[in-house]
Amino acid sequence: MSRRRVVVTGLGTVNPLGLNVADTWKNAQAGTSGVKRISRFDPSDFKAQIAAEVTEFDPEQYMPTKESRRLDRNAQLFWAAADQAMTDSGLSYDEDDPEALRAGVACGSGIGGIITFQDEVGVLLDRGPSRVSPLAITKIISNMAGGVASIQFNLFGPNICTVTACAASANAIGDAAEIIRRDDADVMLAGGTEAGIVELSLASFASARALSTRNDEPAAASRPFDADRDGFVMGEGAAVLILEERERAIARGATIYGEVLGYGMSADGYHITMPRPGGAGAARAMQHALRDAGLEPAAIDYINAHGTSTPANDSTETAAIKAAFGEDAKNIPVSSTKSMTGHLLGGAGALEALLCILAIRDGVLPPTINYETPDPECDLDYVPNEARDSDISFVMSNSFGFGGHNVALVFGGV
């Protein structure tokens, strides 16, 4: 029996480059930075004072006021992206629709409702246990974003939440594709979300010396693969892909953006935050994804890198790409869209997958902005500063998380 094929039939996103897919893609092609001084709270006492925030987002454009108050921003962002993706796909389900039993959700998030967590700890310490909200736990837990999507859109099939740090939403997309392939669902709403720009996380990442402190030049702070990179920039947002069994999508006349061809995973088994030197673990994930897709390394036309703008990640990922692709590595354009969006943590893989799908559709490689000074350890083609027209058939998207979680996804055109 041949393996069921999985295609992408809907897209939705809310992120620092735009509140929808069209604006996001327009700004990504233009090389626009979404990084600014933090506006949500006064960051003056912090080493890092910049982030890529989602501004002008109004959750009540997507949900009733009562519902928005019951959800952390993490889940609000996912609901909005999911709503866009469902509308784009043309799919909708009534509560008694038998096809709803074959439609599910896979959502990835690195830290869940940390805004609520921080706020409610403050309430507990300042006002006592009786004043803690009864909704605190349901707003904090990472799986609630996917749970409310299931409720809102009547998706009664498999419902999973992946929590693998910055690989979380890439895992969600890969796992969702596998669910469809093994015939446990026909449709999966898959993606990720993160809303972690709060004092606690900013202070912790800064104390770990992981964040850029280029506070006077926010738009220039995220500079993956550049010799003068000094850390990543926190971002927030959500992105969703509607995955669907190919024959079903064709039969209903759906718009098909692309196909999920390969999914590879590995573990570094090395350190809680640092990647394994030489990138052997990340290289294995890429090789597994190529094997799953049935492709030779030379077939890949573009790699959307994890590319965080930290010294260790970017040099290690470069080494990993060389290990996975051999001599072909020097011929493959590689860019990091985190140079524009900042790092969405658990939501990053989904947004980057969405950008890969659009790159295939339009034949455009998004750039790595702020690339000024070459690093001898980072010597690939990073599509510096300007988007590039290119014929694209197959792309790879890399996502690596704290704890040594490595994921690579391969997408193809139609």
Query: Within this chain, do residues 59 and 112 fall inside the same structural domain, yes or no?
Result: yes
Query: Within this chain, do residues 242 and 122 fall inside the same structural domain, yes or no?
Result: yes
Tell me the angle at which helices 73-89 and 144-153 cross, rounded to the nearest 10 degrees: 40
Query: Within this chain, do residues 330 and 405 fall inside the same structural domain, yes or no?
Result: yes
Query: Within this chain, do residues 270 and 236 fall inside the same structural domain, yes or no?
Result: no
- Do 36 and 392 contact (CB within 8 A), yes or no? no
Query: Within this chain, do residues 274 and 368 fall inside the same structural domain, yes or no?
Result: yes
HSE (CB half, 13 Å, CA atoms) of 326? 5
C-alpha 362/C-alpha 339 separation (Å) is 21
C-alpha 317/C-alpha 239 separation (Å) is 24
pLDDT digits (tens, 9 = 90+) for 149-184: 999 999 999 999 999 999 999 999 999 999 999 999
Query: Within this chain, do residues 158 and 20 fall inside the same structural domain, yes or no?
Result: yes
- Which listed residue (161, 343, 356, 405) is catalytic? 343
Q: pLDDT-based confidence at 16, cuts 50/70/90?
A: very high
* Mean pLDDT value across residues 20-26: 98
Query: Within this chain, do residues 186 and 68 fall inside the same structural domain, yes or no?
Result: yes
- Which listed residue (107, 306, 356, 378) is catalytic? 306
Query: Within this chain, do residues 218 and 338 fall inside the same structural domain, yes or no?
Result: no
Contacts of 119 (CB under 8 A, 6+ apart): none
pLDDT exceeds 70 at position 373: yes
Query: Within this chain, do residues 247 and 269 fall inside the same structural domain, yes or no?
Result: no
C-alpha 193/C-alpha 105 separation (Å) is 13
pLDDT exceeds 90 at position 2: no
C-alpha 226/C-alpha 379 separation (Å) is 10
Residue 258 lies in a domain: no
Q: Is 166 a catalytic residue?
A: yes
Q: What residue numbers bound the domain in which 309 lies? A: 265-412
Q: Is 405 a catalytic residue?
A: no
- Which listed residue (107, 166, 356, 378) is catalytic? 166
Return mean pLDDT, the chain: 97
Which amino acid would we find at residue 261?
L
pLDDT digits (tens, 9 = 90+) for 74-121: 999 999 999 999 999 999 999 999 999 999 999 999 999 999 999 999
Element housing 87 (H / E): helix 73-89
Give me the pLDDT at residue 1, please.
62
Query: Within this chain, do residues 126 and 157 fall inside the same structural domain, yes or no?
Result: yes
Q: Is 378 a catalytic residue?
A: no
**371: CATH:** 3.40.47.10
As for how many domains the chain has, the answer is 2
Q: How far apart are the first and last CA of the chain?
A: 22
340: buried, middle or exposed (CB in 10 Å: 19+, 13-18, 0-12)?
Answer: buried
- Do 307 and 225 contact (CB within 8 A), yes or no? yes
For residue 264, what are its two tokens? 């590879």
